[in-house]
Structure 1
């Protein structure tokens, strides 16, 4: 019995050892399994981190390559130029300046404007000529103001509401001369208002100012890749107090040419092309005075490339001096009720600084300025040719220098 009991006890003990061994092995297996899983997870994480670094590096390389490619292949966009240059300054090319004579928004003109806007005072084709030129310059024969005292003992006095400066903007006017015998019709206050009105409209002005320095100041506009300088002065004022040298604000005068000649010389140092616009002559005379011829030659000798005149209210002739054009008077352009003969002058400047003049023949009826056509245009060419000096005008209005 004892032996049998001992045998059973040993079997139980063996069985327990086998169970314990089984659990030990199982635990080892489980631990190894868990270690394996952990190892795999760690390896996967490491591989993912490495891949991410490689992807980031590759992305950066691609981005850098794209930037280099863009810099080497992209073209700089062409930028639009507003005013007064209208061209890429680095590119030398032909450009145009359009000049007109006297502009006054008289009551006749303003009545038309109130009924039909800008189209009521000037024909569409002339508007386009003014708007499309790189630079458009006119003589402003009035102050923009509602203030001031009317000049005494003066037959004609002009003044226009500053709101009407928008008509200048619609016409594409870039610069005006204020050097004339009407800028101070309503005194200093009105002249100062003109300065402010033009400044606010972004329109340049020459020939008058609140000081001598400002009145004689050179205005520069870029066009055709070049600098174009503008100066203006008057040889006609109703009284000496209008001269900016005697009273400020005032008008820059050229009774003595010395100061203007010096300004032209300075412009020649700074600019590729210099325009001088002068108020001179005798009203209604279609022939220039001898002093006009003398002054024009002095200006050109000093460095002016073109001389434009106003004040007579009628056309005067064209002349060349040392290869440079002088237009003694362009007459009225937009003014009163009627203008029998007038013209806009289109000047094309080539890369050699040479000027090609083209006369745009015009007239006005019922305060409406239009372009002349066909025989009417030819008649004006013939008339202007007849009062000019050694020039002819072809059927397109182009001015041709004749051999003297």
Structure 2
């Protein structure tokens, strides 16, 4: 074909293609680009509360029992659900194992409680619970696994007790839109109940002030990518508003580690002080979040929600930028129990305890619920 004719054919083909009306096929360079993932937040807020125990035969179980024989505890936490649900991460401490549906149920001194309490915790907005306590094995290893099953079914993560040895070595980390928070937990004892033979890994136990096991767990969480690591410590003396020397020593050892950013305390059943140590914080004892102690003369209905905001610094590390305490009160009626914002008298009493180790001067804000 002559060169002039060949060129004409090419020109004609181009003109026809331009008049065809069909859509132009995008090249790979023209294809729409995928939207980049949003960057992780610069700050996250954690709310943590105290011991959850369901004592039997008292106002709580009387009021929560339904006509079909089951239990509904949703109303217990309803007054504080806004506080809990507003947090990026809400952490509870489930101190006791749950029984099978329908029971039998037991209270103090060896607990096996209504599993419906887990549904109420989930409904209030809790994301994560520590489960290592002196009552972890009150209903044996079966009770321990049943409790973990109930939490998992309700969508609540847990740490401190485990079904398998493999699980005991796997860090508990919650991803908050790109900010990863690790949680480790341990108890100072099990009320004399031995760890199950061959399952010594089932509960994290720390012989205070030795916290080597807790530090090892925190290091695993950090190595797995946790930006923030929180340690929950269940100890030491009940009904004492001040931490023991062993408790203080354990906390200082934990916070001296680069792998621990915050310590939360449980077990005393009364509120204990907050303290800033360096640029980190400890809440030595959050009191009860739900309980009906028969013990009188102690402020076991006083409670507190700890709220810590972690902010990313220029070095990429997250530290506490705001420390807050919200005084709460367990309101016990004739046939109902509710967790409510504390009244002025209770708030003043709780605030005085929180400040016994200089927390307010160090930046703690005591705020209404």
Q: TM-score range by the shorter chain?
A: 0.7 to 0.9
* TM-score under structure 1 length normalisation: 0.71
CA distance in 2, matches of 1:320, 1:131: 26
2:254 corresponds, among 299, 323, 329, to: 299
Change (3 A) 1:175 1:119: closer
Distance 2:286 2:353 in 1: 13
| Residues 322 and 290 of structure 1, relative CA distance in 2, 3 Å threshold | same
Partner of 1:286: 241
Offset, 1:76: 4.3
Gaps of 5+ in 2: 1-12, 294-298
Counterpart in the other structure of 2:206 = 254
3-state SS of paired residue (1:363): strand
2:51 pairs with 1:102: yes
User: Cα distance, 1:298 vs. partner?
Assistant: 1.4
Q: CA RMSD in A?
A: 3.4
Alpha carbons 2:323, 2:365 under 8 Å: kept: no
Classify the secondary structure of the residue corresponding to 1:222: strand
SS of corresponding position for 2:111: coil
Residue 233 of structure 1 pairs with residue 194 of structure 2: no
Deviations 1:119-148 (A, max 9, x none): 531343x10111121111111011122289
Task: Give the Cα–Cα distance (whole angstroms) in 2 for the partners of residues 190 and 376 of structure 1.
Answer: 36
Asked if the contact 1:310/1:331 (under 8 Å) is kept, the reply is: yes
Which of the numbers 292, 297, 304 marks the counterpart of 1:336? 292
Question: 1:286–1:315: 8 Å Cα contact kept in structure 2?
Answer: yes
- Give 1:319's aligned residue: 275
Q: Superposition pairs for residues 2-401 of structure 1, below 5 Å?
A: 54=17, 57-61=20-24, 64=26, 71=32, 76=35, 90-107=39-56, 108-114=59-65, 120-124=75-79, 126-146=80-100, 156-215=109-168, 217-223=170-176, 225-239=178-192, 241-242=194-195, 247-248=199-200, 250-255=202-207, 256-269=210-223, 270-302=225-257, 303-336=259-292, 339-352=300-313, 353-355=318-320, 356-366=322-332, 367-374=337-344, 376-385=346-355, 387-389=356-358, 391-392=360-361, 397=366
Q: Distance in 2 between matches of 1:150 and 1:121?
A: 19
Alpha-carbon distance, 1:374 to partner: 4.6
Secondary structure, aligned partner of 1:336: coil
The alpha carbon displacement at 1:310 in A equals: 0.4
Task: Find the structure with the greater CA-based Rg.
Answer: 1
1:161/1:340 CA distance change after superposition, 3 Å: closer
Preserved contact between residue 236 and residue 268 of structure 2 (Cα < 8 Å): yes
2:283, 2:326 → 1: CA distance? 14
* CA pair 77-218 structure 1, distance change in 2 beyond 3 A: closer
Deviation at 1:350, TM superposition (A): 1.1
Q: Relative to total residues, which structure has the larger helix share, 1 or 2?
A: 1
